[in-house]
């Protein structure tokens, strides 16, 4: 267990550094969008491209793993909405609560952390979860969030906006280009690849620092009191129910004779055990949901994940 904590501690410590720097005003709030843009449009795409290009294409196109994780995402969304939606909390807030319960922070935190723990072969299954969450989970939850408008056009418009967001997001394109590079055994010219490598190496530390900054900003900008019952259960659903669901359904599939790779299953279970994706608070604000509640879920899940994720690694490896 100590060995695991020695690996996970620096990742969570960088998140804490970003949080403290923002809370103490060492990092101006106006600088956070620039950090986020650097991570989203430069560093992370290069990291995902490099991992994708160095991963056998069969791992990136593992239909069994994609089907398992997709089914779990759908169950998580349906379950979270069922237990949180009520007269006070409509489709908008319930749907973004479901998104924050089903969408782990695999891009900003998970890929580098899982590779550090399990080796480079963990990148393929982790990238599969990113693709499913970006293409399916987020689009579905955004569409469901519009059902409060009481007509089908609200959901349809939200689905179009979600699709547009996916098309403009550089991360799926980086995965696709990396996969094509792997499949065709094509490499970039060395000067370009060296540039990609420098940006990829910057992705992990800057992304983790940015997570902390985003969490601090969300907490500073949302001072309204949120009842514990509105966010604590969802954080626990993310950290406990999600990895248990993926693990149990994966083991059931193996027992039923599905040739699911056990190492890949371990990776996606640990990906599901990660805290909630930090950028969902920004998305919730854009669509008019209670982003203060979403920010609290993300913050709590990130704090608790230092212990719960480390325990999950200890149990599974």
DSSP structural state of residue 276 = B
Q: How far is CA 14 from the centre of its chain?
A: 17
Which of 47, 87, 79, 35 has the alpha carbon at shortest distance from 208?
35
Domain ranges for the chain, please list them.
2-316
CATH number of the structural domain 2-316 = 1.20.1530.20
DSSP calls for 167-181: HH-HHHHHHHHHHHH
Which of 272, 273, 296 has the alpha carbon at shortest distance from 284?
296
Alpha carbons 188 and 194: distance in angstroms, whole number: 9
10-residue mean pLDDT series, the chain (317 residues): 82 94 94 90 90 83 94 97 91 94 92 92 92 89 78 60 70 86 86 93 91 88 82 96 97 95 96 92 81 90 94 92
Which of 203, 51, 47, 76 has the alpha carbon at shortest distance from 136?
76
Which of 102, 191, 91 has the alpha carbon at shortest distance from 150?
91
Each residue of 120-159: b (16+ CB within 10 Å) or e?
ebbbbbbbbbbbbbbbbbbbbbbbbbbbeeeeeebbeebb
Dihedral-angle region of residue 41 (phi above 0 means left; psi in -120 to 50 means alpha; beta otherwise): alpha
Q: Are 269 and 92 in contact (CB under 8 A)?
A: no
pLDDT given for residue 187 in this prediction: 82
| C-alpha count within 13 angstroms, C-beta hemisphere, residue 73 | 26
pLDDT given for residue 117 in this prediction: 93
pLDDT given for residue 183 in this prediction: 85
Alpha carbons 276 and 17: distance in angstroms, whole number: 18
């Amino acid at each position: 267990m100590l060995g695991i904590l020695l690996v996970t501690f620096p990742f969570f410590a960088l998140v804490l550094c970003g949080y403290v720097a923002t809370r103490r005003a060492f990092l101006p709030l106006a600088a956070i969008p620039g950090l986020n843009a650097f991570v989203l449009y430069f560093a992370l795409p290069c990291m995902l491209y490099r991992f994708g290009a160095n991963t056998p294409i069969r791992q990136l196109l593992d239909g069994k793993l994609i089907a398992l994780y997709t089914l779990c995402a759908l169950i998580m969304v349906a379950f979270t909405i069922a237990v949180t939606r009520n007269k006070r909390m409509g489709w908008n807030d319930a749907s973004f609560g479901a998104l924050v319960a089903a969408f782990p922070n695999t891009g900003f935190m998970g890929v580098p952390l899982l590779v550090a723990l399990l080796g480079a072969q963990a990148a393929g299954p982790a990238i599969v979860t990113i693709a499913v969450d970006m293409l399916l989970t987020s689009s579905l939850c955004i569409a469901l969030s519009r059902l409060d408008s009481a007509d089908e056009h609200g959901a349809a418009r939200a689905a179009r906006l979600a699709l547009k967001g996916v098309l403009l997001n550089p991360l799926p394109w980086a995965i696709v280009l990396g996969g094509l590079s792997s499949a065709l055994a094509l490499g970039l010219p060395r000067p370009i690849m060296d540039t990609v490598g420098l940006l990829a190496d910057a992705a992990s530390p800057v992304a983790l620092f940015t997570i902390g900054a985003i969490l601090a900003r969300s907490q500073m900008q949302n001072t309204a009191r949120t009842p514990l019952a509105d966010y604590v259960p969802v954080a626990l659903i993310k950290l406990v129910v999600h990895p248990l669901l993926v693990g149990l359904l994966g083991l059931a599939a193996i027992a039923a004779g599905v040739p699911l790779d056990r190492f890949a299953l371990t990776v996606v279970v640990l990906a599901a055990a990660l805290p909630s994706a930090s950028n969902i608070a920004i998305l919730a604000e854009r669509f008019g949901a209670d982003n203060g509640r979403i920010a609290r879920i993300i913050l709590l899940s990130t704090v608790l994940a230092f212990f719960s994720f480390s325990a999950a690694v200890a149990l599974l490896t």
